[in-house]
């Protein structure tokens, strides 16, 4: 049996699933490049450790920053490196590959991703829409004639979609997600505590005491080290979770208004389904504490967080590939776009 491959080409993480094995690779979407020679020095976890710590001639690049492919050559090298790591190239039967990329990539980028995957694996390559695949990975039956709503909060983008009969009925992709939350924290710390912190520290703060709830009674504290913005010397300050909620407020509001605008455009029957079935949150950003209750209060619908939010897209891609391999007659509305 061919081992088909599902790839979540995310702006923060790349995950790869193989049929029958589940998720086999999960690494940050980071590449370290020597700027003098343009040589790739490290990819994934090893390159991530270099972020903010590299000497002048080494640059740790996030080639998919802000939900778009900002550096295509580096994206291609990264994809090739990860696929080669799986050593699937020598398989007798060529695998099918399903890649989920940011929703707002151009046709040229779409084609180039397909070519990069074909070069690395040699099989048939499909591109799919991220929120739809995330919904499948979260266990939703998207082929039913019922509305399912998913909000996939990743690193670079928050993708909001209502899916019915296997197709996206209404959607919106916002360039506001986990990376912007980190930047909100960096800006807040500088503005309110005169302390300069890096991306890694902001990420740690978000995961340790971050919350979407500005009115939480459960106030947590954390000590943060960084550089004094005035003297340039290392300093340490204590911050609390209410402050982080305040810094993230604008970003959470943007995601909520995006979700409201999607809900406003769906036919009333589908909107009624969503009131019954609720909204599914997927992606790493949905692990921010209290984000489910804050979104639920704002949309006045139930909100659920999927199991393993970081793995939904990779698992969903695997499930859709299984669906294709089983050779079942295609259910109405099951369409794959971007097949080369």
Binding residues vs ligand ATP (CB under 6 A): 8, 10-13, 67, 102, 152, 154-157, 177-179, 203, 206-207, 210, 283-285, 287-288, 310
> Smallest distance, Å, CB 157 to ligand ATP?
4
Ligand-binding site membership of 134 (annotated):
no
9-21 CB burial, b ≥16 within 10 A, e <16: bbbbbbbbbbbee
Does 205 show up as a binding residue in the annotation?
yes
In whole angstroms, the minimum distance from the beta carbon of 12 to ligand ATP comes to 3
The label of the residue with tokens 């080290």 reads 225
Q: Nearer Cβ to ligand ATP, position 101 or 321?
A: 101
* 6 vs 283 by CB, closer to ligand ATP: 283
**Which burial class, exposed, middle or buried, applies to 281 when counting CB atoms under 10 A from its CB (0-12, 13-18, 19+)?**
buried
Runs of H (alpha helix) within 150-290: 178-193, 199-209, 241-265, 268-277
Q: Which is nearer to ligand ATP, 155 or 273 (CB)?
A: 155
Nearer to ligand ATP, 148 or 182 (CB): 182
206 is in an annotated binding site: yes
Residue 157 assigned ligand-binding role? yes
Distance from C-alpha of 323 to C-alpha of 183, rounded to nearest angstrom: 39
Q: How far apart are CA 271 and CA 187, in angstroms?
A: 37
By beta carbon distance, the residue nearest ligand ATP is: 178
Least distance (Å) from ligand ATP to the CB of residue 183?
11
The answer on whether 11 is annotated among ligand-binding residues is yes
**Pairing state of beta strands 234-240 and 124-129?**
unpaired
Cα–Cα dist 171/93, whole Å: 36
Which residue lies nearer to ligand ATP by CB, 11 or 148?
11
**Binding site feature residues for ATP:** 11-13, 155-157, 203-206
């Amino acid at each position: 049996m061919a081992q088909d491959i599902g790839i979540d080409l995310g702006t923060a993480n790349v995950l790869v699933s193989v049929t029958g094995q589940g998720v086999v690779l999960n690494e940050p979407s980071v590449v370290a490049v020597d700027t003098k020679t343009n040589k790739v020095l490290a990819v994934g976890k090893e390159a991530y450790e270099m972020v903010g710590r590299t000497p002048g001639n080494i640059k740790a690049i996030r080639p998919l920053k802000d939900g778009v492919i900002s550096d295509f050559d580096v994206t291609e090298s990264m994809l090739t490196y990860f696929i080669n790591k799986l050593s699937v190239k020598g398989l007798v039967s060529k695998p099918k590959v399903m890649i989920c990329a940011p929703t707002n990539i151009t046709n040229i980028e779409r084609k180039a991703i397909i070519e990069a995957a074909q070069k690395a694996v040699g099989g048939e390559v499909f591109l799919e829409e991220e929120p739809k695949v995330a919904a499948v990975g979260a266990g939703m039956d998207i082929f039913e004639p019922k509305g399912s709503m998913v909000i996939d909060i990743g690193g670079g983008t928050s993708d909001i979609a209502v899916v019915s009969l296997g197709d996206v009925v209404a959607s919106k992709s916002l360039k506001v997600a986990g990376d912007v939350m980190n930047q909100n924290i960096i800006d807040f710390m500088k503005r309110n505590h005169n302390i300069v912190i890096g991306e890694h520290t902001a990420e740690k703060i978000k995961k340790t005491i971050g919350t979407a709830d500005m009115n939480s009674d459960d106030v947590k504290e954390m000590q943060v080290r960084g550089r004094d913005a005035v003297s340039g010397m290392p300093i340490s300050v204590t911050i609390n979770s209410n402050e982080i909620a305040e810094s993230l407020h604008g970003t959470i509001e943007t995601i909520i208004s995006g979700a409201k605008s999607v809900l406003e455009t769906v036919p009333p029957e589908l909107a009624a389904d969503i009131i019954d079935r609720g909204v599914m949150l997927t992606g790493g950003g949905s692990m921010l504490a209290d984000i489910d209750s804050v979104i639920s209060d704002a949309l006045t619908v139930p909100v659920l967080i999927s199991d393993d939010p970081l793995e939904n897209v990779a698992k969903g891609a695997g499930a859709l590939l299984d669906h294709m391999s089983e050779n079942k007659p295609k259910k109405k509305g099951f369409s794959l776009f971007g097949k080369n």
